[in-house]
Copies of this chain bind each other. A is one copy, B any other.
Amino acid sequence: MTSSEKMTTANTSADMKCIVVQQTFTGKRELKVTTAPKPPAPGDGEILIGVKACGINFNDVLVRYGLLEDSPRPSFVPGFECSGEVLDIGLNVTHVDRGDRVVVLTRFSAWAEQIVVKKDLVFKIPKEMSFREAAVLPVSYLTAYILLFEIGNIKSGQTLLFHSAGGGVGVALTQLSKLVPNLTLMATASSTKFDVLRAHIHYLFEHDMDYTEDIKKIAPEGIDLVLDCMAGDDCERGLALLKFNGKYVMYGTSSLLSWDVKNLFGITKGMTNWWQNDKVSCLRLFQDSKSIHGFNLVQLLSRGSNETRRYLGDIMHKVFVLYKEGKIKPVVDSVFTFDEVNNAIGKLVERKNIGKVVIEPFLNSKTEKVKKKKSSSTPGRQDSSSTSGPDDDDDDKDPEELRHNSSSSQ
């Protein structure tokens, strides 16, 4: 446990620190640290949590820029996942108790010193799991597990293509795919990360390059499973590369961000406007025996039934089992204070992370951040989290450090 984790969350003030998405009078959206009243005592079926660490996902980037459908109107507290200690429980809560170390999957509201959440997506964490590891687990590993084993139904001998191999989901996919023997892994990533990723992924391609012809040479019959967090051009490429009976899954729309930026600067003329033209024919899918899937964790959290939430909970338990067996190990790229949230988000926008970026409400700036080592995404070999120590300015890394920076998805 790091010294930050040992800090007490007890706070005599009635206010607490939290991060909000707000909109200025000129319409500009921004992320800002502010104070707000602490939440009230938990009601029936609710749990009050003192937050220790929060994971950042690519969806948070979309939220920050107003690009995620069904976001609340500003101001609101964003954040989909955090770890912490149970401070209080409401009626009809039996699976956790005060003082328990837990992790939470939630639709927004995670980035605060204290939060009250419904009980069903709060999970006790194994004692050997740090709060930092826990904070980055839910979104990435739930997503990766569902993509590979629930939707993808991936089997020995198959070929898998995914994007943003250095991102949170990318690292989780890489680790989980080791559970299936004899897969051929192909992925895109920033070329600066190839040195680190090469040991775990058979074929690497640069983001923003058209890899279609290269992949056709490697896998002339096509790909069994394409997992796409980018959309846009990668959707067209993914569909074109599918083999008969192959599956294409869209689980993110990261390239919306670059599209939006290009759009803002008026440089979209002549470009294929995929976003208005992404239709596929059911009959064509039938003729070719192919499938297209959408997986949207945020929508499942907001519109899913109790059954859906139980389903997500069941998978979280499977992920914990894999953790205890040493088969997965969350990778923390870097840790920031709440006050540095824009730097943290920036790291994802610039695709500089390998693994996940964390923000912590009780971290003393510049003193207690994660000390990074040469990391590896092999299960059980990562050692990039849970150690406190100085972390210099992120823009001032030595070459060894830079190799840990990566793109991110979800």
Which A positions have Cβ atoms within 8 angstroms of B?
69, 150-151, 153, 157, 221, 231, 235, 243-245, 247, 249-251, 253, 275, 278-296, 299-300, 303-305, 307-308, 311
* Distance in angstroms between the alpha carbons of A304 and B243 in the assembled complex: 9
Min CB–CB distance A163 → chain B (angstroms): 14
Residues of B within 8 A of A243 (CB): 305
* Distance in angstroms between the alpha carbons of A118 and B72 in the assembled complex: 60
Stoichiometry, as copies per complex, reads: 2
Residues of B within 8 A of A282 (CB): 231, 235, 250, 278-280, 292, 294
- Does the CB pair B289–A295 fall under 8 Å? yes
- Does the CB pair A245–B300 fall under 8 Å? yes
Min CB–CB distance A305 → chain B (angstroms): 5
- Does the CB pair B294–A289 fall under 8 Å? yes
Residues of B within 8 A of A251 (CB): 286
- Does the CB pair B291–A286 fall under 8 Å? no
Min CB–CB distance A245 → chain B (angstroms): 7
Name the residue on B nearest A149 (C-beta): B153
Contact A244-B283, Cβ < 8 Å, known A288-B296, A294-B288: no
* Distance in angstroms between the alpha carbons of A249 and B293 in the assembled complex: 11
Residues of B within 8 A of A299 (CB): 244, 287-289
- Does the CB pair A308–B153 fall under 8 Å? no
Question: A221: which of B285, B288, B305, B311 is its contact (CB, 8 Å)?
Answer: B305
- Does the CB pair A283–B245 fall under 8 Å? no
Residues of B within 8 A of A291 (CB): 151, 249, 291-294
Q: Could you tell me the dominant secondary structure of chain A's interface residues?
A: mixed
Residues of B within 8 A of A247 (CB): 293
Residues of B within 8 A of A296 (CB): 286-289
Task: Give 4 new A-B contacts, CB below 8 A, not counting A250-B283, A280-B282, A285-B292.
Answer: A221-B305, A221-B307, A235-B282, A286-B294
* Distance in angstroms between the alpha carbons of A311 and B158 in the assembled complex: 12
Name the residue on B nearest A221 (C-beta): B305
Residues of B within 8 A of A249 (CB): 291
* Distance in angstroms between the alpha carbons of A285 and B153 in the assembled complex: 19
Query: A153, A221, A231, A292 — which one has the most chain B CB atoms within 10 A of its CB?
Result: A292
Residues of B within 8 A of A284 (CB): 294
Question: A150: which of B153, B286, B295 is its contact (CB, 8 Å)?
Answer: B153
Min CB–CB distance A290 → chain B (angstroms): 6
Min CB–CB distance A74 → chain B (angstroms): 21
* Distance in angstroms between the alpha carbons of A247 and B152 in the assembled complex: 12
Contact A286-B245, Cβ < 8 Å, known A221-B305, A221-B307, A278-B281: no
Min CB–CB distance A282 → chain B (angstroms): 5
Contact A244-B285, Cβ < 8 Å, known A291-B151, A291-B294, A292-B291: no
* Distance in angstroms between the alpha carbons of A296 and B288 in the assembled complex: 7
Residues of B within 8 A of A303 (CB): 244
* Distance in angstroms between the alpha carbons of A253 and B221 in the assembled complex: 26
Residues of B within 8 A of A231 (CB): 282-283, 286
Residues of B within 8 A of A304 (CB): 244-245
Q: List 8 A-B contacts (CB under 8 A).
A: A153-B153, A247-B293, A250-B286, A280-B292, A285-B292, A285-B293, A288-B296, A288-B299
Residues of B within 8 A of A293 (CB): 247, 285, 290-292
Min CB–CB distance A370 → chain B (angstroms): 33
Min CB–CB distance A300 → chain B (angstroms): 6
Query: A249, A289, A304, A308 — which one has the most chain B CB atoms within 10 A of its CB?
Result: A289
